[in-house]
Copies of this chain bind each other. A is one copy, B any other.
Amino acid sequence: MFESAEIGHTIDDATYDAQVPALREALLEAQFELKEQGRFPVLVLISGIEGAGKGETVKLLNEWMDPRLIEVSTFDQPTDEELARPPAWRYWRKLPPKGRTGIFFGTWYSQMLQARIGGRIDDARLDQAIDIAGRLERMLSDEGALIFKFWFHLSKKRMKERLKALNDDPLHSWRLSSLDWQQSKTYDKFVRHGERVLRRTNRDFAPWYVIEGTDANYRSLSVGRILLEGLQAALKREGAARSSPHAAPLVSSLDNRALLDALDMTQTLDKADYQAQLLVEQARLAGLMRDKRMRQHALLAVFEGNDAAGKGGAIRRVTGALDPRQYRIVPVASPTDEELAQPYLWRFWRHIPARGKFTIFDRSWYGRVLVERVEGLCSEVDWLRSYGEINDFEEELTGAGVVVVKFWLAIDQQTQLERFKAREATPFKRFKITEEDWRNRDKWDAYCDAVGDMVDRTSTEIAPWTLVEANDKYFARVKILRTLNEALERAFRG
């Protein structure tokens, strides 16, 4: 893998000086076109051997190109806000928006390699990390990102020579130190594990470029050319020409019985029972949130459901006994323009709770496979793809101790009709009913299909869906609270 990066590539100064001006000019033009189109972001990942010119190259790119359109992020020690959330959160918060370029130093590849070399993880865990990285990059690419991965390489002999010449740079001190690097063993391990990582993460949509770092002229021109060609090609490509995945078609149920039809919608709870049980479950939740074990977890609840199914009322009962400083409700409406400039899941990542906290999503990332699918607001390719991305997303959350609980509040058509009419008649509930609600009602069957597919494809062991029979609000609220409590208790038992 690294053979051709050890053969001593060089470019003489005359050739270099002759080529740079045109390259710079073309890079600037491409960068400007990228901004004008505002169609996709560029993500450049920087990895490789210490002393192979990573920092110098990034510095040079900032000189050649317009640094106002580039943001360089270093992922060294996580901050405490980052440590309180799933590992990927820190990358998501630094993603470049459409039209701009983000350069990531010390990315997921550095983290996994250092962990492997330091012996903190074994090969199996390394493969898991590789898999997660692959999924993340695939998702970013599907969302339009242009990804370059550069690996700066040096032969062992060259590295030792270079390190001798370098002073210890305090900016690098968090990484493997120069001292570490001067041990042959470290180099050997880094190259061996690095080879495995590169091999398994070299994809058409996010290829690795191995750059020999010995000669600055060669290194700089190579990187500049690769960026330029990749950028120019992507800028010419039409947005519409995106390859569609070979998604398995959704199969309708053979016996025409849908998941939602199987619910027993007649379940009820009388008022006295409701009031008694509600108090019990609210107190139980408040107790669990104060439990010491909660410091290792966060709680995340997703509320989806038919219009007028009682999401708002249920959420108020959930938070009823909680300290408002511990929870946060995120009502999901149309995305802001900053959110539109990012991958779909970005707007949800930014609200992921820190450990010890509870976030309630009033509607959620499932909008993509519900309203956006039914209303045709996004392409079939996009919503089909999102089932898998959502499962990956929730796996990252649960893997970091976030307890994910998802509710679909189901009512039948007759109940919905009655509630719509009642709302129209009540002054302070009028705002709850809109033209759109009546229109959605006409698409009842389409929504049923969408819900069925959603549950089939995203109800996982780690983040199962709970279907809530919500014709009776009392029954629904108690079931929701009880489900949350059981999920937390299960998590606490480990």
Interface residues of A (CB under 8 A from B): 25-26, 28-29, 32, 36, 55, 58-59, 62-63, 66-74, 79-81, 103, 105, 170-171, 290, 312, 315-316, 319-320, 322-326, 328-329, 331, 336-338, 362, 427-428, 431
Chain B's closest residue to A354 (CB) is: B79
For the A-B complex with A36-B431, A336-B336, A337-B338 known, give 4 more contacts whose Cβ atoms are closer than 8 Å: A63-B319, A67-B316, A70-B324, A337-B337
Measured between beta carbons, the chain B residues less than 8 angstroms from A32 are 428, 431
Chain B nearest CB from A222 CB (Å) reads 19
Inter-chain contact A171/B338, CB cutoff 8 Å: no
Chain B nearest CB from A20 CB (Å) reads 14
Inter-chain contact B67/A325, CB cutoff 8 Å: no
Inter-chain contact A105/B329, CB cutoff 8 Å: no
Inter-chain contact A290/B170, CB cutoff 8 Å: yes
Inter-chain contact B325/A171, CB cutoff 8 Å: yes
Question: In the complex this chain forms, how many copies of it are found?
Answer: 2
Chain B nearest CB from A167 CB (Å) reads 10
Chain B nearest CB from A295 CB (Å) reads 10
Measured between beta carbons, the chain B residues less than 8 angstroms from A105 are 325
Chain B nearest CB from A54 CB (Å) reads 11
Chain B nearest CB from A401 CB (Å) reads 19
Measured between beta carbons, the chain B residues less than 8 angstroms from A320 are 63
Measured between beta carbons, the chain B residues less than 8 angstroms from A66 are 312
Measured between beta carbons, the chain B residues less than 8 angstroms from A362 are 68
What separation, in Å, do the CA atoms of A312 and B62 have in the docked complex?
A: 12
Q: A29-B427, A59-B324 are in contact. Are A329 and B290 (CB under 8 A)?
A: no
Inter-chain contact A315/B67, CB cutoff 8 Å: yes
Looking at A58, A71, A72, A322, the one whose CB has the most chain B CB atoms below 10 A away is A72
Measured between beta carbons, the chain B residues less than 8 angstroms from A323 are 55, 59, 171
Measured between beta carbons, the chain B residues less than 8 angstroms from A25 are 427-428
Q: A325-B74, A338-B338 are in contact. Are A319 and B67 (CB under 8 A)?
A: yes
Inter-chain contact A331/B68, CB cutoff 8 Å: yes
Chain B nearest CB from A203 CB (Å) reads 27
Chain B nearest CB from A136 CB (Å) reads 22
Inter-chain contact B171/A326, CB cutoff 8 Å: yes
Measured between beta carbons, the chain B residues less than 8 angstroms from A36 are 431
Inter-chain contact B324/A62, CB cutoff 8 Å: yes
Measured between beta carbons, the chain B residues less than 8 angstroms from A170 are 290
Q: A81-B81, A323-B171 are in contact. Are A71 and B328 (CB under 8 A)?
A: yes
Chain B's closest residue to A332 (CB) is: B68
Inter-chain contact B171/A72, CB cutoff 8 Å: no
Inter-chain contact B79/A324, CB cutoff 8 Å: no
Chain B nearest CB from A294 CB (Å) reads 10
Measured between beta carbons, the chain B residues less than 8 angstroms from A70 are 324, 329
What separation, in Å, do the CA atoms of A55 and B326 have in the docked complex?
A: 12
Measured between beta carbons, the chain B residues less than 8 angstroms from A69 are 331
Measured between beta carbons, the chain B residues less than 8 angstroms from A337 are 336-338
Chain B nearest CB from A332 CB (Å) reads 10
